[in-house]
Amino acid sequence: MVTSSAPGKVYLFGEHAVVYGEPAVPCAIERRARVTVEERDDDRIRVHAEDLSLDGFTVEYSSDSAATPDVDVSESVVEAGMRYVDAAVAQARDAADAPNAGFDVVIQSEIPLGAGLGSSAAVVTAAIDAATRELGVELSTAKVADRGYRAEHDAQNGDASRADTFCSATGGAVRVEGDDCRSIEAPDLPLVIGFDGSAGDTGELVSGVRQLREEYDFAADTVETVGDLVRSGEQALAAGDLDELGKLMNFNHGLLAALGVSSRSLDGMVWAARDANALGAKLTGAGGGGCIVALDPTDETQTALEFTPGCEDAFRAELDTEGVRVEDE
């Protein structure tokens, strides 16, 4: 039995545009998903999930059957979660050349599911690391990141980037542009997270942007503008210019809203943060509900969010410089 964990993340800039080869800058945060894997003596998969913003559930199935847990949450969210687990198992089996390996999988996460904090990437990354180790294979961090990307690519029907899984695998602040993934230096960032208690369907939201981009030239131009903004953001990050970072975060949120991936609750939290004099605020992740990230060295934004209608939780998030790791039992 092996337990591995991986961190969640926030995007300073670049979500959605990164799918089309534009750069993005995600940062790992100190909220983790832990995945425990034990090999079975048959080819079945048994998954028990806890703390993923829903009641715990257990589901057991074989590779050639479908099973849906009986839980009181959105069926699309649960089905999406199971797709990621299946894809991670497939990658672990392939990496270890064990196509018929079965597993008992226990997922415990501090990261709300589908909220824009990289829950799926953290679970996939930790699951691949734990499952391959359980089968006697140790993958390098780079290989775990690559396998994680392949899993997300399959789970999201081809609409995925390397950003989330690379960030979860390596930790810290990273820059991703197409297949070019690397760690970058970042100052201490006074990050505040607001969570509306809901979850968006990443695959559906990414697909919606793709359709918009194909239908309207100005939507494609908007995606390219996000890429230009990221490049400006990199310069501000390297200079430690928090004021400029905040302005660019505000701009980035407006572009994402124009692409149709914001929501009333996300906009409400963004404006609450700005009214509290945050340096900047934007949605993080796929959107449609979930989380915003704000830049504020004071306590004002967190306090404002705690009293904002539609915000269920607000908290500070430290940069996590460590990526995927094996946990001591």
**Structural domain ending residue among the three candidates 129, 162, 184:** 184
Q: Do 200 and 72 reside in the same domain of the chain? A: no
Active site residues: 164
- Answer yes or no: are the C-beta atoms of 320 and 7 closer than 8 Å: yes
Q: Do 251 and 149 reside in the same domain of the chain? A: no
Q: Do 50 and 179 reside in the same domain of the chain? A: yes
Residue 218 in any domain: the answer is yes
Residue 260 in any domain: the answer is yes
Nearest Cα neighbor of 119 from 37, 179, 51, 170 is: 51
Calpha distance 119→201 (Å, rounded): 12
Calpha distance 28→184 (Å, rounded): 12
Residue 154 in any domain: the answer is yes
**Structural domain ending residue among the three candidates 184, 212, 234:** 184
Q: Do 180 and 254 reside in the same domain of the chain? A: no
Query: What is the structure's pLDDT at 222?
Result: 96
Structure tokens at 162: 């390397």
Q: Do 89 and 54 reside in the same domain of the chain? A: yes
Q: Do 169 and 206 reside in the same domain of the chain? A: no
Residue 329 in any domain: the answer is no
CATH number of the domain enclosing 201: 3.30.70.890
- Answer yes or no: are the C-beta atoms of 299 and 190 closer than 8 Å: no
Query: What is the structure's pLDDT at 60?
Result: 66
Q: Do 208 and 305 reside in the same domain of the chain? A: yes
- Domain range for residue 261? 191-317
Q: Do 200 and 113 reside in the same domain of the chain? A: no
Q: Do 132 and 208 reside in the same domain of the chain? A: no
CATH number of the domain enclosing 91: 3.30.230.10
Q: Can you tell me whether residue 249 is helix, strand or coil?
A: helix
**Structural domain ending residue among the three candidates 184, 215, 244:** 184
Calpha distance 18→68 (Å, rounded): 32
Q: Do 232 and 288 reside in the same domain of the chain? A: yes
Residues ≥6 apart with Cβ < 8 Å to 186: 27, 172, 173, 237, 319
Q: Which H or E run includes 95?
A: helix 75-95
User: Looking at the 3D structure of the chain, how many domains does it have?
Assistant: 2
pLDDT in tens, the chain (329 residues): 999 999 999 999 999 999 899 999 999 999 999 999 999 999 999 888 875 554 555 666 565 555 555 444 455 555 666 788 899 999 999 999 999 999 999 999 888 877 889 888 999 999 999 999 999 999 999 999 999 999 998 887 776 778 889 999 999 999 999 889 999 988 889 999 999 988 777 778 888 999 999 999 999 999 999 999 999 999 999 999 999 999 999 999 999 999 999 999 999 999 999 999 999 999 998 899 999 999 999 999 999 999 999 999 999 998 999 999 999 76
Residue 327 in any domain: the answer is no
Residue 86 in any domain: the answer is yes
Q: Do 309 and 226 reside in the same domain of the chain? A: yes
**Which residues make beta-bridge pairs with 183?**
174
Query: What is the structure's pLDDT at 329?
Result: 61
Residue 325 in any domain: the answer is no
Q: Do 211 and 306 reside in the same domain of the chain? A: yes
In Å, what is the CA distance from 184 to each residue of 163, 171, 214, 276, 318?
13, 10, 32, 30, 16
Residue 113 in any domain: the answer is yes
* Terminal Cα distance for the chain, rounded: 9
Tens of pLDDT, residue by residue over 148-185, are 999 998 887 776 778 889 999 999 999 999 889 999 98
- Answer yes or no: are the C-beta atoms of 78 and 107 closer than 8 Å: no
